[in-house]
Chains A and B, each alone.
Chain A
Amino acid sequence: QVQLQESGPGLVKPSQTLSLTCTVSGGSISSGSYFWTWLRQPAGKGLEWIGTIYTSGSTNYSPSLKSRVTISVDASKNQFSLKLSSVTAADTAVYYCAGGNFLVVVAATLTWFDPWGHGTLVTVSS
């Protein structure tokens, strides 16, 4: 089955750009079976959706982060990436990549996230 693994620096300085990569194994990132998503979770807090990239290449970003976020795909490496610019201590969190699923039913398109990567802690500190 499809598995995801996050990678990237665990420490980023304030005002710099956080860069993470998610490697997809067990399936092709271009198959269209999933859309690809980044989420995060500050310590002791809830989950926050950051953004999503679809097989078409189109993206959706959280309104609160939109000005600082870029998500891209490298199909040749079966990876997708997150860049978050101008980070502050408030961006310290465990960052997860996930596969998004969708199902069209009467009057709705259902969506959910599965599978997830294990998560990677990113600390913003000088």
Chain B
Amino acid sequence: EMVMTQSPATLSVSPGERATLSCRASQSVSSNLAWYQQKPGQAPRLLIYGASTRATGVPARFSGSGSGTEFTLTISSLQSEDFAVYYCQQYYNWWTFGQGTKVEIK
């Protein structure tokens, strides 16, 4: 079974600082990796697909990289609206998500 592991579980960052979130797959998923942002009480919002392509309307401060089993989501300069939980999602035989990284205000 494909397992997605996100780290860290919680990331404490000051506004304006850079945040780097990691996602590791137990087997290679090529570039079939997406990132979502979820705020309390809201549905997930697509940020990145294909490991590095920003979805429509997503600010340029969000970037994705990686392939195979190691992926990274970088937020270059955190804004107040970026504090949320971030999930990675892969497709192998079916879809699975990481357990999430909570980005909180330091």
**Residues of chain A at the chain B interface (Cβ within 8 Å):** 37, 46-49, 60, 62-63, 96, 101, 103, 105, 107-114, 116-119
Which residues of B sit under 8 angstroms from A103, Cβ to Cβ? 49-50
Q: Which residues in A have their C-beta under 8 angstroms from that of B100? A: 46
Of residues 83 through 104 on chain B, the ones whose CB sits less than 8 Å from some CB of chain A are 87, 89, 91, 94-100
Closest CB-CB distance, B101 to chain A, in whole Å? 11
On whether A113 and B46 interact (CB within 8 A), knowing A46-B87, A47-B87, A108-B30, the answer reads yes
- Residues of chain B lying within 8 A (CB to CB) of residue A49: 94-97
Q: How many residues of B contact A (CB 8 A)?
A: 23
Q: List 8 other contacts, CB 8 Å, given A60-B94, A112-B46.
A: A48-B97, A96-B44, A103-B49, A108-B31, A111-B95, A112-B49, A113-B89, A118-B43
B78, CB-defined interface residue at 8 Å: no
Can you list 30 A-B pairs, Cβ within 8 angstroms, ordered by A? Answer: A46-B87, A46-B97, A46-B99, A46-B100, A47-B36, A47-B87, A47-B89, A47-B97, A48-B97, A49-B95, A49-B97, A62-B94, A63-B94, A101-B49, A103-B49, A105-B31, A109-B32, A110-B31, A110-B32, A111-B34, A112-B34, A112-B49, A112-B89, A113-B36, A113-B46, A113-B89, A113-B95, A114-B46, A118-B43, A119-B43
**Majority secondary structure of chain A interface residues (helix, strand, loop or mixed):** strand
**Is residue B55 contacting chain A, with contact meaning CB distance below 8 A?**
yes
Interface Cβ pair total, 8 Å cutoff? 62
